[in-house]
Chains A and B, each alone.
Chain A
Amino acid sequence: MALRLHGTGKAKRREAAAEEFLASASGPATPERLRLCGFQRVMARAKEPEAFRGRDAWRLSTPSLYRPLYRSAAVILLVVTLLFGSTAALYAASSGSLPDSWLYGLKRAFERARVAVAFSPSSRLDLEVRYGQRRLEEIREMARSGRVRGGERWLAEYERFLASAEGRLDALQEEERDAWRSRLALLLQEHEVTLREVMGYAPAGLVPLVERARGRCAESCARMRGGPGESPDRGGGPPGDRGPGGEGDHGPGGEGEGPVQQGWDDGSCPSLGSGGAAGEEETGGQSREGGEGLGEPQGPGGGGEAGPCGPGGWQEMTGKR
């Protein structure tokens, strides 16, 4: 009994001490935010659509990564960022790759994707041309560093560029097509000169491939020079197929005689003033000088005015004098 009383007394003391302890606490004042603008917030939230007034609605008021809605949004944002980030990193890494690299496939995939999403046929062709320039840079770099591996792949891509550029001409309006044809002809002429230069310092294993690319380039260039009336098939045979005279159908200058045809016979693109004794090297020099100089007769045999790519034809196609 005494024990029980003692125990009860102890419990009572505990109760009293606990009550005293609780009474000693004052607690914080109600936050000013609630006092001053809490009511407006309550009224505003009550006017929100029913869906936002559910039992979890208060969670919307304070963003926190620990709350499911914000956590999901943060995860989605992170995934999207990582996706974009890794794509950008791959793009950057692959942009300088050469055909012997595993990244080259990615580089080409990015290029194809970009062409595919271009808005107009003209901008698609513009991109193709830019990527064609890249192919040229690639073969230069390969030749300079003595790489042979990946040469076949490069050739395939280069041929694809030529075919694609020609093919895309058909999708253009007639006026645009003529302007593009002239631009492509000039560009391919430059390509051909560059490829010829590359052959001068490329390793032996690469030379036949570059030579083949140069041949294809010359054929394509010739078809461009042929003007709107020229069938693409005409360039399909060996460059030497085109006989002197050219039937007069290679453009406005079309008498087809003389020096320009010599360029075709040796496998180069028939170009302005490239005929006669001017020779191949001079053709290259003229191309790089560009524009106005191209129409001038070069060298002792430079009577280029009669050929399809002679001054007459060139001026007709480009509108330049």
Chain B
Amino acid sequence: MREEKEDLEALAERAAGGDEEAFRDIYESLLDPVFRYFYWSLGSYEDAEDLTEETFVRCLAAIGRFDRRKASLRTWVFVIARNVLVDHLRAKGKVKTEALESAGEVPTAGVEARWEEEERDRKVREALRELPEAHRQVLVMRYFLEMDNGEIARVLGRTPGAVNALRIRALRRLGKVLEKKGWL
């Protein structure tokens, strides 16, 4: 993990110097987590695609301003992703939570297994929709992007302690939602 961070930051410095291949490596390293972040935050496959692209466009435009002393590249990218998400939600006026049709692609699984996975994903999206935006953000970052409290705190501009408290409240609230829906 440590190596990856160092690698990413070195890549960022090269990208800032105009190295296109370095930025390609950054893109390939962070594409999956950024897409997952938007997907679980919005529940929309198409919007997640659009916003992922927009995030990397903004990253490229601002890569010269990246300062490794302030944050890791991954954190810096997620701060940008978070801003893109906020802009999107503001423009829409609300969270877009359209149902997805065959959003998941699990080519190795059989039909039945794939159906079960899609059904699970649908339930998770539906349960996350019931949560306030701040709760959803913390859970997405912690459980789908595997960020620790410190990293989430830097992205959201809070303290690690506040993030931990928020995460616990979010989990309890999610538990209530699951009980209410009979999914526990």
Contact = CB atoms under 8 A, between A and B. Distances in A.
A105 to B, nearest CB: 49
A56 B91 contact: yes
A38 B61 CA distance: 16
A31 interface: yes
B53 A42 contact: yes
Interface residues of A, number: 35
Interface core residue of A11, A23, A28, A33 (most chain B CB under 10 Å): A28
Contacts of B120: 24-26
Interface core residue of A13, A26, A62 (most chain B CB under 10 Å): A26
A34 interface: yes
A38 B117 CA distance: 26
A242 interface: no
B35 interface: yes
B172 A62 contact: no
Interface stretch (A14-22, A140-148, A177-185, A311-319): A14-22
A38 B50 contact: no
Contacts of A13: 175
A66 to B, nearest CB: 9
Contacts of B178: 14, 17-18, 21
A15 B183 contact: no
A27 B50 contact: no
Nearest to A46: B60
Nearest to B143: A22
B51 interface: yes
B171 interface: yes
Nearest to B91: A56
Interface of A: 11, 13-15, 17-19, 21-31, 33-35, 38-39, 41-43, 45-46, 53, 55-58, 61-62
A42 B104 contact: no
Contacts of A17: 175, 178, 184
A128 to B, nearest CB: 57
Given A11-B172, A30-B31, A46-B61, 18 more contacts: A11-B175, A15-B172, A17-B178, A18-B174, A21-B178, A22-B139, A22-B174, A24-B124, A27-B36, A27-B40, A27-B104, A30-B36, A39-B27, A42-B57, A43-B60, A46-B57, A55-B84, A57-B57
A17 B106 CA distance: 25
Interface core residue of B35, B87, B91, B117 (most chain A CB under 10 Å): B35
B24 A39 contact: yes
B76 interface: no
Nearest to B28: A39
A38 B46 contact: no
B50 A62 contact: yes
A231 B127 CA distance: 95
Leading 4 A-B pairs by shortest Cβ distance: A14-B175, A58-B54, A25-B124, A18-B174
A157 B123 CA distance: 77
A23 B35 contact: no
A26 B91 contact: no
Nearest to B140: A22
Interface in B94-130: 100, 103-106, 117, 120-121, 123-124, 127
Given A27-B40, A28-B121, A42 B91 contact: no
B78 interface: no
B168 interface: yes
Contacts of B87: 55-56
A18 B56 contact: no
Contact of B53 (A21, A23, A41): A41
Given A34-B49, A58-B50, A15 B144 contact: no
Contact of B27 (A14, A27, A33, A38): A38
Contacts of B103: 28
